[in-house]
Amino acid sequence: MLASLRTLARREEGATAVEFALIAPALCVLLLGSFDVGHTLYMQGVLQGAVQKASRDGTLEQASGSVATQRDAIDQLVRNQIGTLNSAGAITITRRFYKTFTSAAAAQAESFTDSGVGSDYRDDKCNNGESYVDANNNGRFDRDGGDSVERAGARDNVVYTVSISYPRLFPVDKFVGGKGTTTLTATTVLANQPYGDQTQYAPATVDHCGIGVPGVDAPE
């Protein structure tokens, strides 16, 4: 029996299979993670391309149909293009407009007074009746300084943003506490065509957050 055990200990047959069995799990995770990263980069490229085309189409003056109908049609084209690659994704589309490209790139909140008593109450939010400067006179505090795209006109700068959240192709991130989902975002800024004179805002007014019509002067 002892002789047989000594002989077995010296044999090397099957050592490669055992070694592969030890490293196979890590190798599989590495490969799946690489595939998932590649798929994410591809999705980001497709998303950015769709957004660039959609934003360009959205700035052109159309001969027929309402502006809202044209926007809906453009949004649907983006959804269709992205949905071809990932039909399970939740797509969110937003538009904001600014009078200048500089203000669009900065996206700074409207000025407000964080008037809480003591540092414990200053929360960097416009609420509790705090005053703010309504620079665009739309009747609400704008955290990004932008305005509703329904009020956009000629020569205005439109920020078009599309986000998609979807289950990962290979959710290997769950091994390190991830949720198995990813969110991609693409944004572009383009100026509307100069089909007319650009309008300007009236002088800024002072308003208060949390006072007035619910949902209009809502806290930010």
**Would the pTM count as exceeding 0.75?**
no
Backbone dihedral angles phi then psi of residue 112, each to the nearest 5 degrees? -145, 165
Instruction: Tell me the pLDDT tens digit for each residue of 141-194.
Output: 999 999 988 888 888 888 889 999 998 888 888 877 788 889 999 998 888 877
Residue 74, pLDDT score:
85
The residue ranges of every structural domain in the chain are 15-208
Instruction: Give the mean model confidence (pLDDT) for residues 68-85.
Output: 84
Q: How far is C-alpha 95 from the geometric centre of its chain's CA atoms? A: 12
Instruction: Tell me the pLDDT tens digit for each residue of 50-73.
Output: 888 887 777 675 555 566 777 888
Region of 139 (left: φ > 0; alpha: ψ -120 to 50; beta: rest) is left
Q: Provide the token pair at 114.
A: 């964080």
Instruction: Tell me the pLDDT tens digit for each residue of 203-212.
Output: 999 998 876 4
